[in-house]
A and B are shown apart, each in its own frame.
Chain A
Amino acid sequence: MTHPQPTQPEETLTALFDYQSRTSKYIIEAKNLCKTYQMGPVEVNAVRGVNLQVHPGEFLVILGVSGSGKSTLLHLLGALDQPTAGKVFVEGLDLSTLNHNQLADVRLRRVGFVFQFFNLMPQLTAQGNIELPLKFADVPSTTAHGRARDLLTRVGLGERRDHVPSELSGGEQQRVAIARALANNPRIILADEPTGNLDTKTGAEIITLIRQLNKTQGLTFVVVGHDARLTTVADRVIEMQDGGFIGERAGGGQERV
């Protein structure tokens, strides 16, 4: 770890977030963000100099071909990875000032990840998968149980709660993953090609679900991928290529509002 390790305890971190989020206009902000991988003698600039502001409640889609740096960018925004240069602010707080445990806490409470390959724990049921982040957050087990049931019902999987991932279809697994991302009530969901591993019809259903969550809950979505249908529901679409942004336009979702 190269970033500084402030001594502030986690309780004051929450207070700091609240203060900063009231003072910051953007829910996510990236400044001159760079991520370079060293592959032997070769340097791979996965993300190069990205500047980004995401508004609270926005549905942002970042489009780009495979290898353009979308996943890397998303990991940096969600405190899963540290940038080589530049800064990320989540709800106004500079991630570069947080220590290892505080970064874990950002992932636990501030952002929810949804992945292309669902990334459910194979040994846990749908219910168990959603309870897991609640347990990480020390939520009492009866509360966690009730909350996981509610979330499963909300994504339309109330009946399937006792099934393990291998007994669920791709679309069902992605719904569980979305419910799990919502477990600790984050205001931000980061989705990495959420329809990339689904058939056309199921993909469309998932897009409808996340758009609905965005509208009804006021959740901020940053969705990366190359599914063109994403652009129809997006508030804003950014084109990415070779680790940088090459264009930005309003999405189809904006027109409907």
Chain B
Amino acid sequence: MKFRNILGLSFTNMRRRKTRTILTTLGIVVGIMAVVSISSLSGGFEGQITQQLEQGLDTDILTVIPGGGSFFGGSGLSSFQINDTLLIQNITGVISTLGISQTGTTIYNETGGTLDTRIIGVNFTNLETVYGHRLTFSSGDWNQLGSNDSCIVGYLPDPIASTGDNLSAEVLVRVGLNFNYINVSISVGGVLEEAGQSGMLPFDRSIFISIDTYQELFDDSTISTIVVRIEDPDQADAIADEINEAFEDQVLVIVPNFLIDMVSSVFNIMEIFLLAIASIALLVAGISILNIMLVTVMERTREIGIMKSLGAKDRTILSQFLSEAALLGVLGGVIGIIVGLFLAQGMGLMLPALFSGFQGGFGNGDIGFGGSSSFTLVPVLAPETILIAMTFAILVSVIFAIYPARKAAKLDPVKALRYE
């Protein structure tokens, strides 16, 4: 019998028992729905995080933080000394290094305006050699930063000061054995244009002062982070290895792709987990198809007998049932994909509230990742996910229908005709 005719009869049979057809596909629908909704959500989530990370990504910048072992802790250095930068500076392929210390503070301008921000201590010369190519001044320039008590003010949509102004900062410093808030005065040597952030270093909203002033002010000779600019981004991993060697593995070197790789690997694990859930769901779906098909074969025993008495070959009966199963798979797959997409949309609207804590989680202190405060999750369904989902829906249906279909095909025509 021609495939088209087999398919036509399958349609007729499925329409005849609409409720059963829907019930049979339910397992497939649930399985595919789970796969599609979770994978499109995780796809959207991954895309978003990667995008946020890439915004602050400079491929020629390495970030070295004390620690070692793992990113999340372990033994090693707790902070750097300023001379530690020299260990890195001497490595071939390194253009320049920048030691950073930072602390949170409140800034006041002359007219009484305030800003909660952070003060970052840097060597201005090194800041220029590392980031000069991406920082532009809206007022002032590198040359006006000669004096140690001038500062650079990061971009603010609503500027707090311009070059030549004086800012006062309320900083918590140690006086004797006590910590006291004191006010310091700094003159503004330059105001930056919008520059976003680089790795863990945010430019916008930050106040940069000279590292000497910083160390004097806070009576702190350590630095917390060393930013390294390299000549060739392809050398990042090799240079990272050399840095690790120089510090005897007591530091953690964050290469540009480190965080993206980490996020990707987290999502890879999620996808494996997802696959496991999906496999179980589809297995259950398959067993339910097996069950219902066995009942269907029993109910249609007489019809099978009739078809055989009319000259239908065993393989015709077999393909008849397999084609019905395949259609069930297509139906379940299509419904599952549609429902799954709606589910993902709904969850995409609800989940961001749950995940909002995630943003501030990275980084140290108030230097973190993710600049935007509005976090929306738009599910992204890859075309290959649809393809894989449909393939599995059909495959599972057909595989689990093989046994009932063979049973139907092998029925003895006389017994089948006598069946009541």
Contact = CB atoms under 8 A, between A and B. Distances in A.
Interface of A: 75, 78, 80-81, 100-101, 104-109, 113, 115, 119-124, 128, 132-133, 135-138, 141, 180, 184
Given A104-B313, A107-B308, A135 B16 contact: no
A81 B413 contact: yes
Most buried by A among B5, B308, B309, B310: B310
B287 interface: no
Contact of A123 (B5, B12, B310): B12
Contact of A141 (B5, B302, B305, B309): B5
Nearest to B302: A119
**How many residues of B sit at the interface, in one of the four size bands?**
20 to 34
A109 B312 CA distance: 11
Contact of A135 (B1, B306, B314): B1
B316 interface: yes
Contacts of A115: 309, 417
Contacts of B314: 100-101, 104
Interface of B: 1-2, 5, 12-13, 16, 302-303, 305-314, 316, 413-414, 417
A132 B13 CA distance: 14
B231 to A, nearest CB: 73
Contacts, number: 68
B1 A108 contact: no
A104 B308 contact: yes
Nearest to A102: B313
A121 B306 contact: yes
Nearest to A112: B310
A167 to B, nearest CB: 15
B311 A121 contact: no
B1 A136 contact: yes
20 contacts: A80-B309, A80-B414, A81-B413, A101-B314, A105-B311, A106-B311, A107-B308, A107-B309, A107-B311, A108-B310, A109-B311, A115-B309, A119-B302, A119-B309, A123-B16, A133-B310, A136-B307, A136-B313, A138-B1, A184-B311
Given A119-B306, A121-B303, A136 B16 contact: no
A250 B64 CA distance: 111
A115 B306 CA distance: 10
Given A107-B309, A123-B16, 4 more contacts: A101-B314, A104-B314, A121-B303, A138-B1
